[in-house]
Amino acid sequence: MSSYARLMDNAFVYRAWQAPFAETKLAPLYSHNDVSAARRVLDVGCGPGTNTAHFAHADYIGIDFNAAYIESARQRHAREFVLADVTKYRVDPDRPFDLILANSFFHHIDTANTKRILVHLASLLSDDGHIHVFDLVLPARASISRFLARADRGEHPRPLEEWREIFFSVFDPVVFEPYPLRAAGVTLWNMVYFKGRARR
C-alpha cells in the first residue's frame, strides 16, 4: 500500500480531503431526484459517513469494509453502519432499498467484480427503486484531471464509454451524465452520474 493510500485510510484525513467537494459531487442527485422522498437508503462504500446527513429523514444503512471508517461514522452519526463486504450483504426481501448510493466506490474495483457487485445491488432494490452511482472518469487527453485520476488510490478510473458499458449491462438507464468537479475554474476531476433501474 502506498503512503498516500495509508494516509487516506485515516478517517479524519479522508474527511478533510473530501470536504471541499462532497456537496458538489452529489449535485446531480438533487437535480434529477426528490431526495426527500427516499424511504430506505443503502450507502455503499459509505466511508466515515460522508453522505449520511443527506438522508436524515430516511431509514439509512451505511456499509463499508474499512473498520476505521465505520468506527468514525458510528461516532459521528447516530445511524446504522455495517462493517461488511457488500457482496455478502443480505436483506429481508420485505425490506428492499428504494435508493442505493455508490459514491466514488467502483473505481477501486476491477471490472469483473464491479459488474458482480452491481448485479447483487440490483437484487436489493425495491420495484420502484434506483441505484445512483457517482464515479471517476479517466479523460482521454493529457490534463490535470487525467493526472489526478491516475494519481488516485483507486486503480480503476475508466473512460466514460467504459462506465456506460458497465452500467448499461446491468441496469436500465435513467440518467447517464458526465460532469466536472472544479476549483478556481479548473477542472480537477471528471465524474459521471448514473441512475438506473433493476431489470425484472
More confident residue, 83 or 5: 83
Q: Quick check: helix, strand or coil at residue 68?
A: helix
Which pTM does this prediction carry? 0.90
Is residue 171 a contact partner of residue 198, using CB atoms and an 8 Å limit? yes
pLDDT at 2 over 70: no
> Lowest-pLDDT range, 21-25, 31-35, 164-168?
21-25
Per residue in 45-86, pLDDT (tens digit) is 999 999 999 999 999 999 999 999 999 999 999 999 999 999
Q: What integer pLDDT is reported at residue 19 of this predicted model?
A: 52
Measuring CA to CA, which residue among 145, 1, 11 is closest to residue 76? Answer: 11
Average pLDDT, the chain: 90
Look at residue 21 in the predicted model and tell me its pLDDT: 67
> Given the DSSP bridges, would you call strands 186-198 and 125-137 parallel, antiparallel or unpaired?
antiparallel
Between 18 and 70, the higher pLDDT residue: 70
Q: Which amino acid is at 93?
A: P
pLDDT confidence tier of residue 180, bands split at 50, 70 and 90: very high
Q: Can you read off the three cell numbers belonging to residue 127?
A: 420495484
Closest CA to 166 of 178, 176, 155, 151: 176
